């Protein structure tokens, strides 16, 4: 099986330093990073404009800009523990993850790098899983591994742990919510060390970053984004695994759910997923047959949505205020902002970029934004 991208990329050392500086600077997320690169041509030129753009967005002072010294220190520290910082399109970057519009501009990758380019299936579920749930997760992961798939999950307790352990021999990838040197939970450091031999670990966070609650949904989008599909084994209502399933659907990935007893609250979320159209799974062949047609289509990196659209920094102050006035704490879509403001998409995107760099804008799933 081959899940390799058809687009090859290789950064120079200087490019990698500049990209690292840009993505580690305050208020620069993956989408903002891509817009800046598209408009200014390269990371160095974008870095020079950050203070001015933040000021235009209403910031009293510009946010911290990562220095070249800090970027070089992170690269050196990463290399010391075997972590490579790779860009979308480079050989060790999971190809399906690279195709996302919010793919990390640099991804910390460690372990057997060949595992990153093989087809992946995500297995996620309850941290407080039942014995039956753990057994099924192990069996499913083992069978998918024997069929040539890499099992990807979040290194959490419960279902994640069971899936990783069962796929160590065939190859499994752990997606970390913190830096590569801040494993959570700490008790899984031995598990991570074991899976690195034939599998790997990925993180978009810098070394030293201790995972916070808000980092786990960000991690979940990487789990689903790198995979052909996501299998949810057990999930209660309001479970983080349901967030992963929702993100998978938004990303165009297959969503699978294992049915459970209606008397067990740990199966309430998975049973709801099936009602909503998720594919029911009772054995590995259910997953394999569903993703086989997808695998026959090569993964090609295309221009991400909005990347090739220009920005317009000649904004009239009155037009900027009209856009800001439409924003508030409740999320609103870009399309609604364009329609309600009566302004061009280019102008609206530019103002949102400036607000984000000023630390005044929050992005949500589904293309929604709100004012902080």
Model confidence band, residue 2 (pLDDT cutoffs 50, 70, 90) = very low
Report percent pLDDT > 90 for the chain. 83
Q: What is the pLDDT of residues 131-147, one digit of tens each?
A: 999 999 999 999 999 99
Helix (H) or strand (E) holding 257: strand 254-257
Two structure tokens written together for 261: 């007893």
CATH 1.10.10.10: which residues of the chain?
317-371
CB atoms within 10 A of CB 212: 10
Please name which of 178, 125, 186, 182 lies closest in space to residue 151, comparing C-alpha atoms: 125
- Using CA atoms, how far apart are residues 109 and 98, in angstroms rounded to an integer? 13
At residue 310, the pLDDT reads 67
Q: How far is CA 124 from the centre of its chain?
A: 15
Q: How confident is the model at residue 367, as a pLDDT? A: 80
Asked if pLDDT for residue 306 goes beyond 70, the answer is no
The predicted-structure confidence for 189-204, as pLDDT tens digits, reads as follows 999 999 999 999 999 9
From 199, 76, 97, select the one nearest 149 (Cα to Cα). Answer: 199
What residue spans in the chain does CATH classification 3.40.50.450 cover?
A: 108-295
Cis peptide, bond prior to residue 252, ω within 30 of zero: no
- Between 107 and 372, the higher pLDDT residue: 107
CATH of 317-371, one of 3.40.50.920, 1.20.1730.10, 3.20.80.10, 1.10.10.10: 1.10.10.10
Q: Which CATH number fits domain 108-295: 1.20.120.1200, 3.90.580.10, 3.90.79.10, 3.40.50.450?
A: 3.40.50.450
Does the structure show a pLDDT above 80 at 62? no
Of 298, 246, 301, 312, whose CA–CA distance to 276 is shortest? 246
């Amino acid at each position: 099986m081959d899940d390799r991208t058809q687009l090859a990329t290789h950064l120079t050392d200087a490019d990698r330093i500049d990209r690292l500086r840009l993505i580690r600077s305050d208020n620069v997320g993956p989408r903002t990073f891509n817009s800046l690169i598209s408009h200014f041509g390269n990371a160095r030129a974008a870095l020079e404009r950050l203070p001015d753009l933040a000021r235009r967005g209403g910031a009293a002072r510009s946010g911290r800009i990562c220095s070249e010294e800090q970027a070089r220190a992170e690269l050196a520290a990463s290399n010391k523990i075997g972590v490579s910082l790779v860009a979308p399109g480079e050989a060790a970057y999971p190809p399906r993850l690279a195709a996302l519009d919010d793919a990390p501009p640099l991804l910390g990758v460690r372990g057997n790098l060949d595992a990153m380019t093989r087809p992946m299936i995500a297995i996620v579920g309850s941290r407080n899983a039942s014995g039956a749930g753990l057994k099924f997760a192990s069996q499913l992961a083992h069978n998918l591994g024997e069929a040539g798939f890499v099992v990807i999950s979040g290194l959490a307790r419960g279902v994640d742990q069971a899936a990783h352990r069962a796929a160590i021999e065939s190859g499994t990838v752990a997606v970390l919510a913190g830096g590569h040197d801040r494993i959570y939970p700490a008790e899984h450091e031995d598990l991570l060390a074991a899976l690195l031999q034939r599998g790997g670990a990925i993180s978009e966070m810098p070394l030293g970053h201790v995972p916070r609650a808000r980092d786990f949904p960000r991690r979940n989008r990487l789990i689903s984004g790198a995979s052909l599909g996501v299998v949810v084994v057990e999930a209660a209502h309001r479970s983080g695994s349901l967030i992963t399933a929702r993100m998978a659907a938004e990303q165009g990935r297959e969503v699978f759910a294992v049915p459970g007893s209606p008397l067990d609250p740990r199966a309430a979320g998975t049973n709801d997923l099936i009602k909503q159209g998720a594919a029911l799974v009772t054995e590995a062949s259910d997953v394999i047959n569903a993703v086989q047609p997808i695998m026959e289509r090569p993964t090609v990196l295309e221009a991400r949505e909005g990347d090739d659209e220009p920005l317009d920094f000649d904004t009239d102050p009155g037009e900027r205020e009209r856009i800001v006035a439409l924003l508030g704490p409740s999320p609103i879509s870009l399309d609604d902002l364009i329609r309600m403001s009566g302004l061009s998409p280019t102008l609206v995107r530019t103002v949102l970029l400036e607000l984000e760099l000023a630390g005044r804008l929050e992005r949500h799933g589904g293309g929604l934004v709100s004012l902080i």
